[in-house]
Amino acid sequence: MTAVRHRSQEPQWDPAKQISVDHRSPVPLYFQVASQIEEAIASGALPVGARLDNEIELAGNLGLSRPTIRQAIGSLVDKGLVVRKRGAGTQVVFNHVKRSLQLSSLHDDLTALDAAPSTRVLVNELRTPPPEAARALGLSEQDQVLHLERVRHARGEPIARLRNYLPAGLLAPTDEDLTDRGLYQLLRAAGVHLHAAQQTIGARTATDEEAALLDEPTGAALLTMQRITHDHTGAIVEFGTHTYRASRYTFDLTLRGDT
């Protein structure tokens, strides 16, 4: 029985054992297969670099037709989760990033997920704030703020465009600082005690500029997040307005009932 193999060629995930299909279900067979492979990628059972059997082997192992398997793999290719490589079969290239909602920076979260974060710095300068940022920080539009703008990558793929505004004098990072470390790491190192934040999550479609930065088509779905962060004295130390690729990124919330 042929199984999905990792770079070491040791069996890691056996589709014949891990994928089940229900021929009586109204859910298309290709979708049943694709969704179970996607779950395995998201859980890490199929890590980046793992290879799937070819279409003929998968079809034989699962008792399905080759066109059904081709459609299943094609849907995963369209989502950017796998690629077809001539002579190497189908290979997992990306895990969907799940981020829990807590007072941490994206850089820290990606590091914890072993997602090899990297950063492209677009803006790092003092300037007058846009009206929205001035209101959030409790400043006038004539005051100076530190304006930071970056594109964060995970495993070489752009994940998010990050815009942050901080009161002038709070931090003076170099581009190298912003490349190597998360903003909250830098704030804590500067003696800022982060205490709490208000966060709003939304969604919209990508502009031409955002699409180019995030390697998405214009009009693609984006997740949005705005955050106002306070230090231990209650002072506002940061206003962030970020956009995330919905095809690569989710926010993970835990809801608890009464105890």
pLDDT digits (tens, 9 = 90+) for 43-96: 778 877 788 888 888 888 889 999 999 999 988 887 767 877 666 678 886 655
- Residue 103's pLDDT is what? 53
User: Would you call 42 helix, strand, or coil by DSSP?
Assistant: helix
Domain locations in the chain?
Answer: 4-92, 97-252
Q: What angle do CA 245, 54, 96 make, to 5 degrees?
A: 15
Q: Mean pLDDT throughout 27-53? A: 84
111 vs 82: which has the higher pLDDT: 82
Say which CATH topology domain 4-92 has. Answer: Arc Repressor Mutant, subunit A (1.10.10)
For residues 182 and 105, is the Cβ–Cβ distance under 8 A? Answer: yes
Q: Is the pLDDT of residue 105 over 70?
A: no
| Residue 14 structure tokens | 């056996």
Q: Which residues contact 14 (CB under 8 A, 6 or more apart)?
A: 1, 3, 4
Q: pTM score > 0.75 for this model?
A: no
pLDDT band at 7, cuts 50/70/90? very low
Query: Buried b vs exposed e over 95-122: b needs ≥16 C-beta within 10 Å?
Result: bbbebeeeebbbbbbbbebebebbbebe
pLDDT band at 6, cuts 50/70/90? very low
136-189: pLDDT as tens digits? 999 998 999 999 999 998 877 888 899 999 999 999 999 999 998 889 889 999
**Greatest Cα-to-Cα distance within the chain, rounded to the nearest angstrom:** 69
- Residue 10's pLDDT is what? 40
Looking at domain 97-252, does it have CATH number 3.40.1410.10?
A: yes
- Residue 96's pLDDT is what? 53
| Residue 182 structure tokens | 């998360």
- Average pLDDT score over the chain: 82
For residues 55 and 66, is the Cβ–Cβ distance under 8 A? Answer: yes
For residues 174 and 146, is the Cβ–Cβ distance under 8 A? Answer: no
